[in-house]
Structure 1
Amino acid sequence: MDRQTGGEAEWPGREALHDLAACLRFYSRLPVPQMPGEADPHRAPEFSRLPRMLPLAGVILALPAALALAAAWLAGLGPFLAATLAVAIMAATSGGLHEDGLADFADGLGAGGDRARMLAIMRDSRIGSYGALALFLALALRIGALATLLDRTGLAAATGLVLAAALSRVAALAPMALLPPARSDGLSAAAGRPAGGSLVTAAGLGILLCLAALALGLDAAGVVTMVLLSGLAALSVTGLARRRLGGQTGDVIGACQQAAEIAALLGLVAAVAP
């Protein structure tokens, strides 16, 4: 008997499917229906276990953008327009969640002052000059990297986009795993740290996705560089948050994801240089 539903039989992969659905609901604007056997699709996510499905959630979130990238390229729109369209669709699919975190993180650290002041600025919904600049540079780097990949590798750029989305979401677990919450209230404090098994599963899925990307023809040196640079970028943001804020917030996690995705794409560009 199912302990949660009181009568529905267990079936393999049910909890994983529920966690994947919860990931997509929390991290995107996609209309995710209630899954079979799911008691309450609107309840607060279980963050100790939820991150294990982030790599697959990243793949699903990136697929519309990857398809648009390939279609625009095949339609002859050119690399810049195709890349811009793909990044726009990525932002629309995710609701700009991570971009918002990056902007808030940049505003808080850019303004400076003591820890309390930076955290207060990060919580302010208004965007400042540092946040606007960070958003502009992040968008420009992602568009530029994708356009260059299209020019050098053609449709393989779509595979790179999907892999970067997945790897960056694994890398963004770094502050959750390594830092305490910077505030005593808020979502980050309520979420806690992901369980060790959840982190291992996320890493394992990330490795499988790298192997799948290799099977689809992505450059091996490029995949290795993407993994290394996305992890390094996430650890750098995590270290900065430790020094300046004494912990992590949702904005720190968002900034980690954006930094890791940009680093992964730039790493792939460097590896396939002409």
Structure 2
Amino acid sequence: MNPWHRSQQALRHYLLAVQFFTRLPVTGRLAGWVGYSPAMLRASAAHFPGVGWLVGGVAVAVHALLHAALGGGLAQPLALWVAAVGSTIATVLATGGFHEDGLADVADGLGGSAQRERALEIMKDSRIGAFGAMALVLALLAKVSLLALIGSHGLVATLLLLWAGHVSSRGWPLLLIRALPHVGDTATSKSKPLADRIGLPALWAAAAWCFVPLALVGWALGAITFAASLAASALAAAAMHRWFARRLQGFTGDCLGATQQVCELAFYLGAAIALAPRGA
């Protein structure tokens, strides 16, 4: 395959990932050109962090606009909260709450039953339960609080970390696909094409998507902030892997969404700790 055809194929895979994981319009003739097959969706996994470029870009744009309109900064601390809430709402609208739904389902399933089979059954139920509601409320509250806290360190820091958090957190679920078997109902699961373990070339492609946002964090905010945010996110991913391996002996599509959410929160938490002022 010549370079032109390879680039077209990569673009199709990327747009399919955007179509599958967001509400951003890939419709009409464009959707017809992109096409669909289970093999294409499997290949699109390499571009999951690339979807974060778009979703994170939406978050950055909304946050910056609200910050400017409200005169955000230390003089207007509540403006930091409004900008954090606005950017969070924008990302939920952009994705249709896809990952948040996965977090709620996982919390309901693993919180509602110690039995593996029963937990998987609960996770397939579209209704939200007490554990799912609590997980959603606490996750959104944590996200808004962390973004507001990071906002006190300046707009540039906030926008870079917001973008990098959305991009890098979409890379960690790929390691679950690599390391664990798919245990969902493959007859009906939307993640069925991802049941086959992901290859190393796809992981390298995903890492390439993460390079620029993370490099900018290191360049603008320093090596400590870069290392702390990435390490916290990696620890969260490892904890989710251990949890799913022990409780489910594998992963489902909901597990991937929950991992993205937890790793994004951990990324912001690590950054907030690194940026916190130290006593003399």
Q: TM-score if structure 1 supplies the norm length? A: 0.90
Tell me, yes or no, if structure 1 residue 105 matches structure 2 residue 106.
yes
Asked if structure 2 preserves the Cα contact closer than 8 Å seen for 1:229 and 1:263, the reply is: yes
Q: Shift of residue 43 of structure 1?
A: 4.3
Give the Å deviation of 1:189: 3.7
Residue 238 of structure 1 pairs with residue 262 of structure 2: no
The answer on whether the counterparts of 1:18 and 1:38 sit within 8 Å (CA) in structure 2 is no
Aligned residue for 2:250?
A: 247
Structure 1 residues 34 and 58, CA, compared in 2 at 3 Å: closer, same or farther?
A: farther
Q: How many residues align structurally?
A: 267
Q: Which moved more, 1:169-178 or 1:70-79?
A: 70-79
Cα distance in 1 between the residues matched to 2:152 and 2:29: 41
Tell me which of 253, 258, 271 is aligned to 1:268: 271
Contact 1:109 / 1:244 at 8 angstroms: preserved in 2? Answer: yes
Sort the Cα spacing of 1:203 and 1:141 in 2 relative to 1 into closer, same or farther, 3 A: same
Q: Which residue in the other structure is 2:45 paired with?
A: 51
Between the two proteins, what is the percent identity of the paired residues?
Answer: 31
When you count helix as a share of all residues, which structure comes out higher? 2
**1:1-274 correspondence to structure 2 within 5 Å:** 10-11=4-5, 13-33=7-27, 39-44=33-38, 46-76=40-70, 78-185=79-186, 186-191=189-194, 192-215=196-219, 217-274=220-277
Gaps (5+ residues) in structure 1? 3-8
Q: Distance in 2 between matches of 1:121 and 1:36?
A: 37
- SS of residue paired to 1:13: helix
Shift in alpha-carbon separation, 1:71–1:36, aligned structure 2, 3 A:
closer
Q: CA deviation at 1:14?
A: 1.6
**Structure 2: which amino acid aligns with 1:188?**
S
What is the CA deviation profile of residues 31-89 of structure 1, one whole-angstrom value per residue up to 9, with x for unaligned ones?
02578897453544624421222222101111111111111111226111110000000
In 1, Cα distance between the equivalents of 2:149 and 2:50? Answer: 26
The CA RMSD over aligned residues, in Å, is: 2.2
SS of 2:197's equivalent in the other structure is: coil
